[in-house]
């Protein structure tokens, strides 16, 4: 009897426990069970393409083979990784770095061991697959830049996220994610990245995938259409590389459509190949780029600041006209100007004789502009420079733009805590001394002189938010909350901006008569025998350009004629211009570092690039295809 009673008590206890676990706590353990058998996998979106104004791809996505490992299916993760690393013959340093990243990733999911697999590597992995738990070969997208070095500073590149970026957004630690590091890729990262999706996968007790439970697809990034003409970009980059050999020095070319500020060309040379970064740059490749004396990683068109030299005489002329100076009044140039006990030299030691304003622009007479600057003062020159777009950022859609320097009395006192020296006004009048500008600002100067309007440059022409909506999850068995956790994590900083609205440019408020005087001087620079760049004129009448050459000192001090100067100390060559003369459409700036003479080095490049811009436009209007 006692035995029977004991059995009944044990049975009752067992039944009660079973009821408690299976009925009272069923929902709790069902949730825990689901968490054990369901894995959430991020679905990385396709990155948006970048195209030129005519639809030519400048950054697109190609397919590649890659080896990936799923930690949930690999068993002993370190052992599994060692096997695939041996098969792929990874270097020890690289292997250790990848293993550390694999074992510390914060978001569960597969890990990319190696991208860009060759056919031989694919074959080796496939043959060894039975001994590679959790490893498989699949296809994915890789960023491709058809322009190569010609568009590097404009487009930038993408690469694996940095440690700080991963700390801010842990899901970027997944092997698929690449983020913009410079150029348009960086500036418009949120729009190009797209929105992540989520895949729910059921796994067995060993972590092996059994079936896909649901899929919420990713949304591709927006396709961007830039204002740039890829044909002209390619031509300008090739042309500047043929000018004096940029292996020894670099340079820039910027071309604007003066009707709306569209940047048609923005070249900085030497460049780099962004395709190298897309596949993964090696330590040696990175060090070579960083240590290169001509700074190929720097976008010189917006971030390098140069003395404008004689191109600045356009500013001094307009400032003088505003102050009431008679454009027909003359000054005598004997080759120098005595002021304050110092001799300020003209580039022509023999002098230019008697010249008026337009002749002084055509011959680039320093003495005329020394006298003009002394008469009107630095404040008038500074005010006009700011009006014409110098001394301030232009607001272009690229990171790293510099503002340049337009000095005046207040600036010097604030910067150096010293009063302004009257002799410094003379140097400012010819674009030397403290004055610094960027090549982009010089192009804006050309556009504003040609139009009399507040032209502002822009790079992004348009983009379209794709009408792709995430598909409704099918056979959903996990909570929606889990899904949103991952999506919100990666999309938290993906707030899209709006494309710039290009409004009609306002007038600069400069009398047309004043602009005509300066334009006439620029016409004489190129198209009259007395002009400094007559040899570089465009001989096709309807394509004729106007412009102003400049030669900017790299090292202060007067150099004796014929003196041998080390290249890095030779003067920069500059040019600002527009075309065609009678009905301006394009503005251009060219800087050839250490090119020595604007008329000999920069003007020929501008001639060829502006000719090509007009030829391409005519060809496009005749046959848009």
Residue 258 inside a domain? The answer is yes
Specify whether 81 is located in the same domain as 152. Answer: yes
Q: Is 569 a member of any domain?
A: yes
Distance of CA 484 to the CA centre of its chain: 33
The 3-state secondary structure of 553-593, one letter per residue: CCCCCCCCCCCCCCHHHCCEEEEEEEECCCCCCEEEEEEEC
360-374: buried (b, 16+ CB within 10 Å) or exposed (e) per residue? bbbbbbbbbbbbbbb
Q: What is the pLDDT of residues 52-109, one digit of tens each?
A: 999 999 999 888 788 877 776 777 777 777 878 777 778 877 778 877 777 776 655 6
Query: What's the pLDDT at 622?
Result: 53
The pLDDT assigned to 392 comes to: 94
Is there a single domain that holds both residue 561 and residue 485?
no
Q: Are residues 421 and 554 in the same domain?
A: yes
| Same domain as 477, residue 516 | no
What pLDDT sits at residue 25? 54
CATH assignment of the domain containing 527: 3.40.710.10
Domain boundary pick from 447, 464, 491: 491
Decide: helix, strand or coil at residue 514. helix
Contacts (Cβ under 8 Å, ≥6 apart) of 51: 57, 58, 223, 224, 225, 226
Instruction: Identify whether 515 is part of a domain.
Output: yes
Asked whether residue 522 is assigned to any structural domain, the reply reads yes
Let me know if residue 3 belongs to a domain: no
Q: Which helix (H) or strand (E) holds 47?
A: none
CATH code, domain with 175? 3.90.1310.10
Identify whether residues 195 and 309 lie together within a single domain: no
For residues 140 and 193, state if they share a domain. Answer: yes
Question: Residue ranges of the chain with pLDDT lower than 70?
Answer: 1-8, 10, 12-37, 39-41, 72, 105-109, 173-176, 203-210, 212, 242-249, 463-503, 555-566, 618-625
Same domain, 265 and 219: no
Asked whether residue 219 falls in the same domain as residue 283, the answer is no
What pLDDT sits at residue 239? 92
pLDDT digits (tens, 9 = 90+) for 304-337: 999 999 999 999 999 999 999 999 999 999 999 9
Same domain, 271 and 221: no
Tell me: do 262 and 400 sit in the same domain.
yes
Let me know whether 323 and 220 are in one domain: no
Model pLDDT, residue 463: 62
Number of folded domains that form the chain: 2
The helix (run of H) or strand (run of E) holding residue 523 is: helix 512-527
Joined tokens for residue 338? 């005595």
What domain range includes position 178?
40-226+472-491
- Residue 35 within any structural domain of the chain: no
Could you tell me if 539 and 602 lie in one domain? yes
12 lies in a domain? Answer: no
pTM > 0.85: yes or no: no
Nearest to 277 by CA among 164, 98, 145: 145
Given this model, what pLDDT does residue 497 score? 47
Is 33 inside any structural domain? Answer: no
pLDDT confidence of residue 89: 77
């Amino acid at each position: 009897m006692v035995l029977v009673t004991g059995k009944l008590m044990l049975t009752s206890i067992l039944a009660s426990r079973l009821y408690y676990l299976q009925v009272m706590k069923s929902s709790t353990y069902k949730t825990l069970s689901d968490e054990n058998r369901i894995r959430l996998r991020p679905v990385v979106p396709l990155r948006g393409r970048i195209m030129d104004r005519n639809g030519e791809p400048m950054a697109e996505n190609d397919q590649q083979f890659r080896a990936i490992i799923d930690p949930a299916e690999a068993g002993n993760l370190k052992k599994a990784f060692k096997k695939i690393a041996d098969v792929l013959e990874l270097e020890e340093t690289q292997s250790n770095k990848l293993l550390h990243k694999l074992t510390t990733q914060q978001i569960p999911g597969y890990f990319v061991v190696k991208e860009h697999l060759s056919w031989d590597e694919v074959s080796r992995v496939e043959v060894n697959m039975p001994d590679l738990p959790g490893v498989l070969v699949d296809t994915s997208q890789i960023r491709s830049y058809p322009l190569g070095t010609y568009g590097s500073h404009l487009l930038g590149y993408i690469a694996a996220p940095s440690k700080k970026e991963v700390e801010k957004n842990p899901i970027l630690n997944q092997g698929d994610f690449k983020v913009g590091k410079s150029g348009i890729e960086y500036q418009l990262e949120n729009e190009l990245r797209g929105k992540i999706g989520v895949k729910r996968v059921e796994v067995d007790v060993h972590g092996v995938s059994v079936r896909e439970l649901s899929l919420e697809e990713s949304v591709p990034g927006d396709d961007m259409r830039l204002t740039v003409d890829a044909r002209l970009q390619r031509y300008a980059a090739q042309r500047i590389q043929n000018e004096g050999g940029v292996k020894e020095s670099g340079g820039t070319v910027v071309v604007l459509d003066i009707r709306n500020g569209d940047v048609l060309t923005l070249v900085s040379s030497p460049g780099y190949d962004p395709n190298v970064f897309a596949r993964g740059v090696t330590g040696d490749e990175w060090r070579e780029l960083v240590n290169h004396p001509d700074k190929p990683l720097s976008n010189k068109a917006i971030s390098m600041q140069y003395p404008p030299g004689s191109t600045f005489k356009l500013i001094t002329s307009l400032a003088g006209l505003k102050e009431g100076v008679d454009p027909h009044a003359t000054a005598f140039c004997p080759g120098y100007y005595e002021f304050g006990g110092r001799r300020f030299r003209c580039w022509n030691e023999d002098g230019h004789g008697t010249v008026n304003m337009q002749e002084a622009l055509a011959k680039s007479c320093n003495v005329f502009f020394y006298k003009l600057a002394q008469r009107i003062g630095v404040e008038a020159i500074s005010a006009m420079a700011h009006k014409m777009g110098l001394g301030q950022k232009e607001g272009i859609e690229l990171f790293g733009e510099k503002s340049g320097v337009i000095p005046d009395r207040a600036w010097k006192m604030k910067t150096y805590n010293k009063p302004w020296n009257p002799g410094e006004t003379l140097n400012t009048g010819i674009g030397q001394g403290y004055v610094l500008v960027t090549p982009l600002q010089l192009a804006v100067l050309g556009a504003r002189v040609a139009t009399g309007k507040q032209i502002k440059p822009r790079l992004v022409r348009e983009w379209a938010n794709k009408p792709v909506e995430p598909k409704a999850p099918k056979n959903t068995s996990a909570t929606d909350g889990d899904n949103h956790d991952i999506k919100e994590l990666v999309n938290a900083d993906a707030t899209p901006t709006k494309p710039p609205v290009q409004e009609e440019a306002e007038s600069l408020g400069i009398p047309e008569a004043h602009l005509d005087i300066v334009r006439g001087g620029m016409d004489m620079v190129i198209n009259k025998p007395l002009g400094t760049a007559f040899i570089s004129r465009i001989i096709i009448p309807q394509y004729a350009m106007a412009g102003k050459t400049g030669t900017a000192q790299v090292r202060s001090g007067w150099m004796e004629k014929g003196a041998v100067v080390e290249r890095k100390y030779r003067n920069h060559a500059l040019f600002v211009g527009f075309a065609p003369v009678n009905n301006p459409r394009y503005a251009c700036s060219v800087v050839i570092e250490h090119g020595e003479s604007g008329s000999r080095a920069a003007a020929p490049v501008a001639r060829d690039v502006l000719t090509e811009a007009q030829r391409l436009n005519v060809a496009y209007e005749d046959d848009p295809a």
